[in-house]
Structure 1
Amino acid sequence: MSRVFADRRQAGRLLAAALAHLKDAAPVVLALPRGGVPVAAEVAQALGAPLDLVLVRKIGVPGAEELAMGAVVDGADPVVVRNADIIAAAQVTPQAFEAVCARELREIERRRALYVGSRRRAPIAGRTVVVVDDGIATGATARAALEALRARGPARLILATPVAPPETVSLLQGFADAVVCLKTPEPFGAIGYFYDDFRQVDDAEVIDLLARHPVPPEA
């Protein structure tokens, strides 16, 4: 029996249907890699939109890396979001936080070289921007992405995801002009619980999907 979504691509097609009203706004679709890329590719295809990435990494609690104590977004001046409650509860020192943050910035650099290279980037300023992930738990990563993108002057900033807990959706509404979420189950648990197929997305799949959805010169 299906948990909710068969896989990321099916979730992307369902999400695209919920975003169909944006097609006339000539949106730009930005994926949070790696898991958000197959979802975002379906959205970009349906909306006839360019596909690009937001290079953002979760900062996980040492020894419990799936638990986000913050997130960091690529840029000349990286945006760092801290989840103060989790940092305090896990008794993470500032030095430990900075060490994990530095490690994640190195991974962002690796991904930028591998995924982006000399690829044309999608324009942000003055555009309707749709940020897509395959699911959101604490919201730290999505919040960091939204804060970084807001500073680049989009006309409208929309967060879209197949599944997230209701309290996270409420939190993130303060950082986006709209949040589109197909399912808000309680209790939530892990994102993978809501997919029949939630296998890890590898670098090769990200590179392939980006190659299939290049940013045109007129974008």
Structure 2
Amino acid sequence: MFDDRTDAGRRLATDLEQRDLDVDIVLGIPRGALPVARPVADALDAALDVVVARKMGAPENPELALGAVASDESAWYNDDLIDRLNVSEEYLDEIRAEEAENAREKADRYRETEGLPDLRGKRVLVVDDGVATGATATACLRQVRDTGADWVGLAVPVGSPQSVGDLEREADEVITLQAPAAFRAVGQYYRTFGQVTDEEAIEYLDR
């Protein structure tokens, strides 16, 4: 159990230091990952930036994720769910374009330059506050991979064992402090798990 996201970030940072992990840049997934990613970046003496993706909601049920799309339109689809709901290609194209634009707008709020920094040949660590379905993390990892990064890792305090296993196919290394068999939701492993505003998240980038 973590006290809050900052506590989780410090504990994750300690674990990564013990692994002697060498990275050039840490990318947090806004908004909730930034309080986790800041102590990680500080401990690893790495720059901190963001990588943004948005979930693609199902028709009539936007909370149900058909997948996720990053700001460059890199996407991951839950094919089984899409087939089960008989979602049309037209809807998928529309929701992908809409959420990719939303992701780009969010990314623009977090940085002064357009798009990700130059990651070619870099060792990049993506950080989130936890993974449930892994949809957003997958889209983010694919976006980073497409930049030509030399190594792409993912570090989270807690995650679903199944999703962590799936993400190991997307990243060169996945590091998690906890992957409990009884996992139901990320928030159950935090004593305090309130919403992080854009303004609060941006403050972690400015430090």
- TM-score, normalising length: structure 2: 0.91
Shift, 1:181, TM fit: 0.6
Question: Residue 173 of structure 1 corresponds to which residue in structure 2?
Answer: 168
Which secondary structure state, in structure 2, belongs to the residue aligned with residue 69 of structure 1? strand
Structure 1 Cα separation of the partners of residues 115 and 205 of structure 2 = 11
Report the Cα distance in structure 2 between the residues aligned to 1:62 and 1:209, rounded to whole angstroms: 35
Q: Residue 210 of structure 1 aligns with which residue? A: 205
Output the aligned Cα RMSD: 2.0
In the superposition, relative to structure 1, how do residues 28 and 114 fare at CA in structure 2: closer, same or farther (>3 Å)?
Answer: same
Per the TM alignment, residue 121 of structure 1 is displaced from its structure 2 partner at its CA by 5.7
Whether contact under 8 Å (2:23, 2:124) holds in the other structure is no
Residue aligning to 1:148? 143
Distance in 2 (alpha carbons) for counterparts of 1:116 and 1:144: 19
Q: Evaluate the alpha carbon distance shift between residue 74 and residue 119 of structure 1 in structure 2; reply closer, same or farther with a 3 A threshold.
A: closer
Kept after mapping to 1: 8 A contact 2:24/2:46: yes
Find the partner of 1:59 among 41, 56, 60: 56
The Cα of 1:24 is off from its aligned counterpart by 6.8
Residue in 1 that maps onto 2:190: 195
**Structure 1 position 5 matched with structure 2 position 10:** no
Q: Is the 8 A contact 2:120 2:149 kept in 1?
A: yes
Spell out the pairing of 1:95-114 with structure 2 (5 A cutoff).
Answer: 95-114=90-109
Equivalent position of 1:132 in the other structure: 127
Code of the residue aligned with 1:152 in structure 2: it is T
Provide the rounded CA distance (Å) in 2 between the counterparts of 1:186 and 1:142.
Answer: 20
User: Is the CA contact (8 Å cut-off) linking 2:51 and 2:116 kept in structure 1?
Assistant: no
1:30 aligns with 2:14: no
Unaligned runs of 5+ in 1: 213-219
2:206 is aligned with what amino acid? A
Deviations 1:151-196 (A, max 9, x none): 2222211110111111111111111111001111122212111111
Q: Is the 8 A contact 1:28 1:51 kept in 2?
A: yes
Displacement of 1:130 in angstroms is 0.5
Give the 3 Å change call, closer, same or farther, for CA 118–157 of structure 1 in structure 2: closer
Whether contact under 8 Å (2:27, 2:125) holds in the other structure is yes
Q: Which moved more, 1:22-31 or 1:79-88?
A: 22-31
Distance 1:52 1:208 in 2: 12
Query: Residues 107 and 115 of structure 2 are in contact (CA less than 8 Å); yes or no, is this contact kept in structure 1?
Result: no
- 1:216 paired residue number: none
Residue correspondences, number: 207
Measured at CA, do residues 82 and 97 of structure 1 come closer, stay the same or move farther in structure 2, by a change above 3 Å?
Answer: same
Cα displacement string for residues 114-155 of structure 1 (whole angstroms, at most 9, x for unaligned residues): 111248964411121100001111112111111121122222
TM-score by length of 1: 0.86
